[in-house]
Amino acid sequence: MGTSRFTRPKGLDGESTPNLFVANCGPAVGLSLDEIASAFCKFGEVCGVYPADESGARVIVSYSEVGSAQAALKALDGHSCSDLGGRVLHIRNSILRPPSQVKDSVSVCLLDSELGIPGIYLLHDFVTTEEEEELLAAVDGRPWKSLSKRRVQHYGYEFLYEARNVNTEQQLGELPHFVSPILEKISLFPHIEKAEDVTLDQLTVNEYPPGVGLSPHIDTHSTFEGLIFSLSLAGPCIMEFRRYSQGTWLPSSLSSTGMQEQNPDYCSSFTRRSIFLPPRSMLLLSGEGRYAWHHYIPHHKVDMVRDNMIRRGSRRVSFTFRKVRAVPCQCEFPQYCDSQK
């Protein structure tokens, strides 16, 4: 996260505050924020428990009264806390950062119905844990291509990052046999209209190490058709969606990854939504959600989801299935469409 409203300042140990920096305490050591609040509320009213940093092992406990914080500090610092599994806590006073240092956030949805973006759907437990293990073993048995911050594999067609497109004359072959069960399940996806073509011929496998995400982008209209499926494996993350108020596509906004990235100097006003993607879930981008909303994975090691701090794990692997476009895009969102510009 790195954007906690609190900090442990140097030389503050002699100054009493209602906020405590607590080390050896947090989701990374098996303690939820609710469990921590329950243990500390014995000393007074707890206003909130917040992540202190990205480690997941340090939190800020904020009391309504200074006296409550100091009572907790005296009783728990350096001692085993039976209410928190016997962990020995290390506690110091903390202060509130100026509001200018607080980064804005957006509420994280758990269901696509809460997200409210037309064309975006999420199915939990799309594959079983056994299928997940088999898919990961299959890609780990094949060569990876290293990018600057992550590793990728391409099947069907290779995405040409320099040209920002695929070469339809150089097909790599059919999609690998180990994804055949996934393709069969996709054909039965409940939110697909019968008239829509669900034939998919391009697969990109991305491996994200901890803290690595994606910049805001729309998959290039002229390159891929309107249905994009993304299966999350191994680790969770949150995905944010942004609808820019102007959103005109500019050639200079194409990134080195070949995706259409919004130029922040051109358009700074946007609507934000966010959803939690657990392992084994399948995300469908279609319609407005695919063509008009940028999607983005924050570069975090820890995500805040409904007051719970969730670590992303040692890796996250995504399988993104698409269909290469054979004719120019004629979508209903020309302001975002490179084919219509």
Tell me the C-alpha to C-alpha distance, in Å, between residue 168 and each of 81, 157, 206, 223, 259.
62, 7, 21, 10, 17
Q: Which of 140, 151, 211, 202 is nearest to 172 (CA)?
A: 202
Least confident of 45-49, 160-164, 203-207: 160-164
Residue 160 has pLDDT above 80, yes or no: no
* Predicted local confidence at residue 161, as pLDDT: 66
131 neighbors 57 (Cβ within 8 angstroms): no
93 neighbors 13 (Cβ within 8 angstroms): yes
Residue 240 has pLDDT above 50, yes or no: yes
Residue 77 has pLDDT above 90, yes or no: yes
Residue 108 has pLDDT above 50, yes or no: yes
* Predicted local confidence at residue 87, as pLDDT: 92
Res. 164 pLDDT band, cuts 50 70 90: low
State both tokens at 200. 């998919």
State both tokens at 237. 């993350």
State both tokens at 112. 């696509």
Which range, 95-109, 207-221, 266-280, 323-337, is most confident? 323-337
- Which run of H or E residues covers position 10? none
- With a CB cutoff of 8 Å and minimum separation 6, the contacts of 259 are 215, 217, 218, 219, 220
Give the domain ranges of the chain: 6-101, 108-336
Q: Which of 242, 234, 311, 229 is nearest to 275 (CA)?
A: 242
At the second CATH level, the architecture of 6-101 is 2-Layer Sandwich (3.30)
Q: Which of 40, 30, 86 is nearest to 60 (CA)?
A: 40
- With a CB cutoff of 8 Å and minimum separation 6, the contacts of 81 are 39, 87, 88, 89
Q: Which of 53, 155, 106 is nearest to 296 (CA)?
A: 106
294 neighbors 217 (Cβ within 8 angstroms): yes
Q: Which of 322, 317, 246 is nearest to 290 (CA)?
A: 322
Least confident of 195-209, 227-241, 327-341: 195-209
* Predicted local confidence at residue 40, as pLDDT: 94
| Burial class for 260, CB neighbours closer than 10 Å (0-12, 13-18, 19+) | buried
- Which run of H or E residues covers position 155? strand 151-155
pLDDT digits (tens, 9 = 90+) for 242-283: 998 754 444 334 433 444 444 443 444 789 999 999 999 999
66 neighbors 74 (Cβ within 8 angstroms): no
109-112 own/partner pairs: CB under 8 Å, 24+ apart: 109/273, 109/274, 109/275, 109/276, 110/275, 110/276, 110/305, 110/306, 111/275, 112/275
At the second CATH level, the architecture of 108-336 is Sandwich (2.60)
Tell me the whole-structure pTM to 2 decimals.
Answer: 0.68
115 φ/ψ angles, rounded to the nearest 5 degrees: -65, -45
- With a CB cutoff of 8 Å and minimum separation 6, the contacts of 240 are 106, 216, 272, 273, 274, 295, 296, 297, 298
